[in-house]
Structures are given as structure tokens and as C-alpha cells.
Amino acid sequence: MNEAPIGPVDSSRVPRFAGPATFARLPRLDQVGTADVAVVGVPFDGGVSYRPGARFGPSAVREASRLLRPYHPGLDVSPFERVQVADAGDIAANPFDIGAAIEDIEAAASGIDARLVTIGGDHTIALPLLRAVARRHGPVALLHFDAHLDTWDTYFGAEYTHGTPFRRAVEEGVLDTEALSHVGIRGPLYGRRDLEEDRRLGFGVVTAADVLRRGVDEVTDALRQRIGDRPLYVSVDIDVLDPAHAPGTGTPEAGGLTSRELLEILRGLAGCRLVGADVVEVAPAYDHAEITSVAASHVAYDLVSLLALQEKP
């Protein structure tokens, strides 16, 4: 793109609480034509196993993102000046058929010619998003932030739920099994076999307690070594955060990361070959004072900023 990027609405002219709630008050994709980075919503929660409501996540995160500002001091980048970032709206997915929804999401994501930061929706959506990314980049490294493994085989006989996307992704060959990591894992499991099967799939685990004891810098260095120079996809389930920082989610677990820890680990990924990302499982019906959606909006902003850093201005 030869022209200067079109940025957010100027908050000194239009108050932040006024006007359409696109992500960070950015232009819509149809207003700019093409973009380097696109933020897209997937309001689908047909794969949840406990509390529903993540279908309302994209709208809540966009609303909370009104307060984001254009310069990121932690990464020393003005992402909306460096590259064209746009809001690509929502992907319409069949709310009554998980298989059809997965196909809808994969097709729509594949049709957007930009690096995507996707706002869910439940974690089922990660599978079609990974398929779309792998079609362009081949098998990718995965950095998965979550309280849960999401590598179970089936749930009530169903192979496609928010607890199974990464097992399916490994089986389909869209992930590089030499560079798979979970961060923030905690809470009770069905048995030791859960961890054993996860390990056989190729995942390394950094628990929430590991982050506490080892610290953000040491954890980030270890993750970067595992990722190497591979194309990287980052998937953030907001329940990686402690319920004190993210009450508005479907399957909360005590003892999680702080929002500060999560954001600092993400910022430590600067220079990695990030090719796509998602932020999922924001369920605003269980939120208080937008705590969860504000946290998710900042996570998405950091991911957009990391992608902007990779592009030449």
C-alpha cells in the first residue's frame, strides 16, 4: 500500500464513547479496501461445555477497545501508523451445526487477504483459523494461553468442541509438533492420562505456577527458544487469566495469570514470526465493569502491535 494508513477516529474530535464501536475505532475493511492486519469477530459459541455466551464476545471486546490509544509504549510502536489495520466485521457461522460453522469460519478466514487477529467466540474456532493459516504458511508453531489443555479427544462423543481443537489440529497436520506450548495450565483434570496424551501430541506445558515461580522473563525466553524461527500462531483463551482479572468467561479456574503477566509475555514475543492470533472465550454476561473485555481488548491490541512490528513501514 503506497498511501499512508487510515487510522482510528480522532478522540480529540469525537469522544471515545460516541460513534460506531469498531475495534479501537479503526476503519472498517470495506472503507479502506485492503489491510495488512485485520481484526475479525467470530460470534460462535456452539462448542462450549459449560457456561455459554462467548458469541457476544466480539461486540463486548470492540466496545471495551474504545479506550485504546494509537501509540504502544511497551513495544515502542504506533501500529495504526505503521501498517493499515482495519476491522473486518464478523464472520457469520452456523449457530446450529458445529461442522458447518467450522467450514464457514475456515472459508471466510481464508478469503481475507490480511494477517488476522480474531476475537471469539469459543475455542472451537481455533481449528478452522489454524487450517486457514496453515494453507498459507504450512504447519505452524502454536503458543496456547489457557487454563485448560484443549487437547481432549471427544466430549459426549463429539470430536469438535472448545476442548478438542488442538488435538484435531495435530491430527490434521496443521501444527509443527516440534514447537507446541501451553501457558497458564492449572486446575483439576480428569486424570494423569490427560497430561500424558497431551505430551504425546508434542506439547510442552508451562503452568500458571511456573510463571509465578520462574518469572515472566525466564518463561518468555524458554518459549522463544521452542518457537525458533517458525511461523507462529498465538491463541489466547481469556480464562488463562485468574477470575479476578477475567470473571467473564465460560470455564473459570482459580490461580491464573494476572493481566500484567500475560501482556508482558506477549510483548516478549517481539521479533517472532507471528502469522495470526485469536482471543477467545470472553462471555460478557458473567463480566463485571467490563474487566474481562477490557483485558481482552488489550491482549488483541498487543497482538496487532506485534504483527505491525513485523511489517516494513
The model's pLDDT over 253-307, given as tens digits with 9 standing for 90+, comes to 999 999 999 999 999 999 999 999 999 999 999 999 999 999 999 999 999 999 9
What pLDDT score was predicted for residue 3?
83
Answer yes or no: is pLDDT of 63 > 70: yes
Element (H, E) at 220: helix 216-227
Model pLDDT for residues 209-247, shown as the tens digit of each residue: 999 999 999 999 999 999 999 999 999 999 999 999 999
d(CA 20, CA 22): 6
Do 98 and 257 contact (CB within 8 A), yes or no? no
Residues 6+ apart with CB under 8 A from 303: 117, 234, 236, 266, 274, 277, 279
Region 53-61 average pLDDT: 98
The reply to whether 76 sits in an annotated binding site is no
Answer yes or no: is pLDDT of 1 > 70: no
Answer yes or no: is pLDDT of 311 > 80: no
d(CA 189, CA 210): 17
Least Cα distance to 147 among 213, 207, 211 occurs for 207
Q: What is the third-level CATH fold of 24-309? A: Arginase; Chain A (3.40.800)
Model pLDDT for residues 129-176, shown as the tens digit of each residue: 999 999 999 999 999 999 999 999 999 999 999 999 999 999 999 999
pTM: 0.97
Answer yes or no: is pLDDT of 313 > 90: no
Bond into 184 cis (ω within 30):
no
The reply to whether 146 sits in an annotated binding site is yes
The reply to whether 150 sits in an annotated binding site is yes
Residue percentage of the chain with pLDDT more than 90: 97
Structural domain boundaries in the chain: 24-309
Answer yes or no: is pLDDT of 2 > 80: no
d(CA 282, CA 122): 8
d(CA 55, CA 149): 21
What pLDDT score was predicted for residue 310?
87
What pLDDT score was predicted for residue 197?
97
Mean pLDDT across the chain: 97
The reply to whether 287 sits in an annotated binding site is no
What pLDDT score was predicted for residue 177?
97
